[in-house]
Structure 1
């Protein structure tokens, strides 16, 4: 997972690190620090956890794995055009 993608998607959804973590099923006492570690690239979430983030943030899983920033933006645009309109 590309760490900056999680931070960008979380902020775009106007969620705190703690809120995203608890919505994804992370213990409330660990949620903020765990999401912070994921966003900084200190730790990597499992694919299953990324799938939870994708569902919560209404994004496809592939968004979190693409390295190219332009492609990431295209993925968001295509996804919203196809599934959110």
Structure 2
């Protein structure tokens, strides 16, 4: 079973939402104007993967958290964006709620086994 990196798809998605061309995005994060478009194209095609520093610059410029690029499905990607917009206290509340949901699910599963 082969793994397909979610980075190219997430990068293209976030760039389009930001209404930026590949060249404009590359230039905004400090790439040379002559190579910005080809490099961004290679990242979006999955031919090359940006290093973590470049990926962080892209995330900052696109207004998404770094972990967004690693989400393997749309729901996780949207959750990553939404969580990044919450305050620390709000994120802790979400963590508490999801922990309660998981505990409840485990308890239900145990009850069904008994």
Task: Write the distance in 2 (CA, Å) between the matches of 1:33 and 1:53.
Answer: 15
SS of the residue 1:29 aligns to = helix
For residues 57-76 of structure 1, what are the structure 2 equivalents within 5 Å?
57-76=62-81
Which stretch of structure 1 is more off in the superposition, 71-80 or 59-68?
71-80
- The aligned counterpart of 1:17 is 22
Give the number of aligned pairs: 82
Whether 1:7 and 2:26 are equivalent positions in the alignment is no
Normalising by the residue count of structure 2, what TM-score does the alignment of the two structures yield?
A: 0.68
Q: Which has the higher contact order (CA 8 A, sep 6+)?
A: 1
More helix by share: 2
Deviates more, 1:48-57 or 1:71-80: 71-80
* Residue number among 33, 41, 59 corresponding to 1:54 in the alignment: 59
What is the root-mean-square deviation in Å for CA atoms of aligned residues?
1.2
Residue 37 (1) aligns with residue 37 (2): no
1:63, distance to aligned residue in structure 2 (A): 0.2
Please give the TM-score of this superposition, normalised by the length of structure 1: 0.89
Deviates more, 1:67-76 or 1:47-56: 67-76
Cα deviation 1:36-55 (Å, max 9, x = unaligned): 10001010000000000011
Gaps of 5+ in 1: none
Distance 2:41 2:54 in 1: 14
What runs of 5+ residues in structure 2 fail to find an aligned partner? 1-5, 88-114
